[in-house]
Amino acid sequence: MSRRERRADAGRGGPRHSASRGEPRRGRDFPPPGAPLPPLPIAGVVALALWAALLLLAPPQSNWFWGVNGFRSVPPAARLALLLAAGAAALVPALRLRARAAWVALAGVLAVVLAFPLHERIHVLGDTQTRIRSIAVFGAQLFEATLREWSQKLHANPLDIAVDFLGPIGLHRLGLGVLDAVSTVSLLLAATFCAGLWRVSARLPVAPENRVALCCALALAGTLEIFAGYSESTGLLLAAAAWWWAALLAPLDTRARAARAAVLWLLMFLGHRMALVMLLPQAWRALGAPLPGDQPGPRRLLLGLSAAAALLAAAVLLAGAGAAQLAADWRDLLGGATRRGSLPLLLPGDALNMLALLAPLALLAPPLAGWQVLRAFARRSEARLLLVAALPLVPLGLMLPVGGGGLGAQRDFDLNALGGWTLTLAAGALLATLPAARLRGTLLWLLPALALGAGGWVAVNADERAAMGRALAMAAQPPRMGDLQASALHVWLGQRAMDLGRPELAGGYYDRAFALGGNPRRALLAAEAWAVAGDTTAARRSLAAARSRGDLGPGLERAAATIERMLAERAADTARGGLPTR
């Protein structure tokens, strides 16, 4: 190592990457100009071929292939655009882009395109519809409610309320439309996430010529949908997680680095309760096998600061709505177990779709790297740290989307975004150990495959007709959703029908939601829709169904009385010959 390199490493707090273990630096492993790239392993070629075939041939609008059939579910013009984008992705490793400016330009274009022209259209995913309606209602000051009440309604942590709720409201009051305001926040979160990716890549042993391409590989997954005008808390979680991982993978050789890791974990928690699970890898980072360049003092400091951050997080939970929401989440899981006799779990097909959607790199990287590279990587401290982080997220990912408060695997895909990102980072760290020439050849084939899969998921949710077709398929086609998840989907379909001026369709959807879930509020929604449609017989039937569940309580009783007045007024108008009825 030259004197200049030693001075640079000293300024960064120690030697980086494999050089700290006495191995040759991967960044110096450049092939001579014009040299052929090393061939891919046969297993890698087979994996890429199978992946491409799955993306290109998976049947559209099928619940069996919902994570990979986006390409087949969009119109031909969109498919052509996806193929062109996939081909363009290969240019990144081919051109050996290495400058930070190149990544800033690519990330900037990606963030803008996601947030605006490709934003999520019909708000069927997650709680996006509830959040967008809440932002519009709060911004218009249609009724009084405290931020604590809104936090409880939206299941939101403090930073989530500040960024994802008050942020769009502030932009809306400045003159932006609600959807444009949400997209603007998504754009800022995507930029923060991409900046975090660049920092993470600096902690991996990747050659400069492959750094931009590896950042692309880390970004190209279905998690991109979370930055596509998506009114949820997960974008904030991923943006914070990228920076937190960059701090956690850095050598703990100074007090400042230890403090940075603890503070970033606290910020991640303030954005999303899922960060509580990440206390385990944080503790492992302080107590487990050290990474190259670590010093005992900063590691002990990290442990102490992490404990202090955890206590502060507990105080925030108790002071706000987070503790009640955690208890509700736990009751939802236990309630599902009570009703079904066992813990609710994703169907195997849904679990595979989730993995293919959120962590395709984790599926493709091992065969592309080869068994020997994988075995050597598994012995590294970084690999163990990433494994510790991923393990507790697996059972949560299998349960949360289908628990009592879950919306199903496809709609609640974002509940597994942190797990998908963690597995993606582990796969990227595996690939980063490859020699530079071999990694460039791998990324040359890998990036188009990743771009096609991620682009298909974004494109299908950006196309109103295609996204609506998937929602209808979820409701009508096998495999069947759980009753609670199907009931929530039919409520969404009813709201969508009312928004489109089709109350006669909405009444049927709400009735079905009540039959599946038993919530009398949904029967009252059906009665209201039938009353608007002019079908008084169906409206009275839905009202009777709601009352059959027992006492409605003051709030629902007032809603029922309002509907009864509507029906009485309509009957009076009919008697005067003013309106037809059924």
Per-residue model confidence as pLDDT tens digits over 506-542: 999 999 999 999 999 999 999 999 999 989 999 999 9
Supply the pLDDT for residue 571. Answer: 78
Residue written as token pair 């009485």: 568
Q: Which two tokens stand for residue 352?
A: 């595979």
Supply the pLDDT for residue 2. Answer: 42
Residues 293 and 439 in one domain: yes
Alpha carbons 274 and 138: distance in angstroms, whole number: 26
pLDDT band at 4 (very low <50, low <70, confident <90, very high): very low
DSSP letters of 496-545? Answer: HHHHTT-HHHHHHHHHHHHHHH--HHHHHHHHHHHHHHT-HHHHHHHHHH
Weakest mean pLDDT among 134-138, 234-238, 261-265, 491-495: 134-138
pLDDT band at 347 (very low <50, low <70, confident <90, very high): very high
Residues near 485 by beta carbon (within 8 Å), at least 6 away in sequence: 402, 406, 407, 408, 411
Residue 142 has pLDDT above 70, yes or no: no
Residues 406 and 497 in one domain: no
**Are the C-beta atoms of 162 and 320 separated by less than 8 Å?**
no
pLDDT band at 35 (very low <50, low <70, confident <90, very high): low
**Average pLDDT of the residues in 385-389:** 97
Whether 167 maps to a domain, the answer reads yes
Supply the pLDDT for residue 15. Answer: 37
pLDDT band at 10 (very low <50, low <70, confident <90, very high): very low
Residues 227 and 291 in one domain: yes
Supply the pLDDT for residue 21. Answer: 36
Whether 18 maps to a domain, the answer reads no
First vs last C-alpha separation in the chain = 88
Residues 235 and 281 in one domain: yes
Q: How many Cβ atoms from other residues are within 10 Å of residue 239's Cβ?
A: 26
Supply the pLDDT for residue 157. Answer: 82
Rounded percentage of the chain residues whose pLDDT exceeds 90: 76
Residues near 361 by beta carbon (within 8 Å), at least 6 away in sequence: 217, 218, 220, 221, 423, 424, 427, 428, 431, 446, 450
**Average pLDDT of the residues in 253-279:** 95
> Mean pLDDT over all residues of the chain?
89
Residues 501 and 458 in one domain: no
**Are the C-beta atoms of 535 and 554 separated by less than 8 Å?**
no
Residues 456 and 522 in one domain: no
Q: How many residues does the chain have?
A: 582
For residue range 443-488, list pLDDT tens digits in order: 999 999 999 999 999 999 999 999 999 999 999 999 999 999 999 9
Alpha carbons 475 and 70: distance in angstroms, whole number: 18
- What share of residues in the chain are helix, strand, coil (percent, to 5)? 75, 0, 25
> CA–CA distance from 227 to each of 34, 222, 278, 409 (Å)?
39, 10, 22, 19
pLDDT band at 151 (very low <50, low <70, confident <90, very high): low
Supply the pLDDT for residue 158. Answer: 87
pLDDT band at 414 (very low <50, low <70, confident <90, very high): very high
Range(s) of the domain holding residue 566: 482-575
- Residue 295, phi then psi, degrees to nearest 5: -125, 145
Residues 263 and 185 in one domain: yes
Last residue of a domain, one of 421, 436, 463: 463
**Average pLDDT of the residues in 231-242:** 95
Alpha carbons 245 and 386: distance in angstroms, whole number: 10
Q: How many Cβ atoms from other residues are within 10 Å of residue 57's Cβ?
A: 12
CATH code of residue 496: 1.25.40.10
Alpha carbons 373 and 435: distance in angstroms, whole number: 10
Whether 14 maps to a domain, the answer reads no
Which position has the higher pLDDT, 502 or 567?
502
Supply the pLDDT for residue 237. Answer: 96
Supply the pLDDT for residue 327. Answer: 63
For residue range 46-79, list pLDDT tens digits in order: 999 999 999 999 999 899 999 999 999 999 999 9
Residues 413 and 550 in one domain: no
Q: For residue 185, with 0-12 CB atoms within 10 Å meaning exposed, 13-18 middle and 19 or more buried, which class applies?
A: buried
pLDDT band at 120 (very low <50, low <70, confident <90, very high): very high
Residue 23 has pLDDT above 50, yes or no: no
Q: How many Cβ atoms from other residues are within 10 Å of residue 283's Cβ?
A: 16
Residues 57 and 199 in one domain: yes
**Average pLDDT of the residues in 292-310:** 96
Residues 77 and 139 in one domain: yes
Alpha carbons 206 and 437: distance in angstroms, whole number: 11
**Average pLDDT of the residues in 314-335:** 67
Whether 468 maps to a domain, the answer reads no
Residue 295 has pLDDT above 60, yes or no: yes
Residue 574 has pLDDT above 80, yes or no: no
Residues 456 and 487 in one domain: no
**Average pLDDT of the residues in 143-163:** 70
Whether 311 maps to a domain, the answer reads yes
Whether 444 maps to a domain, the answer reads yes
Q: How many helices (H) and strands (E) does the chain have?
A: 30, 0
Last residue of a domain, one of 411, 428, 463: 463
Q: Which two tokens stand for residue 382?
A: 């970084």
Last residue of a domain, one of 400, 433, 463: 463
Domains in the chain, number: 2
Which position has the higher pLDDT, 182 or 331?
182
pLDDT band at 340 (very low <50, low <70, confident <90, very high): low
**Are the C-beta atoms of 370 and 425 separated by less than 8 Å?**
no
Residues 380 and 450 in one domain: yes
Which position has the higher pLDDT, 551 or 394?
394
Weakest mean pLDDT among 8-12, 105-109, 182-186, 254-258: 8-12
- Residue 58, phi then psi, degrees to nearest 5: -60, 135
Whether 530 maps to a domain, the answer reads yes
**Average pLDDT of the residues in 137-157:** 64
Whether 370 maps to a domain, the answer reads yes
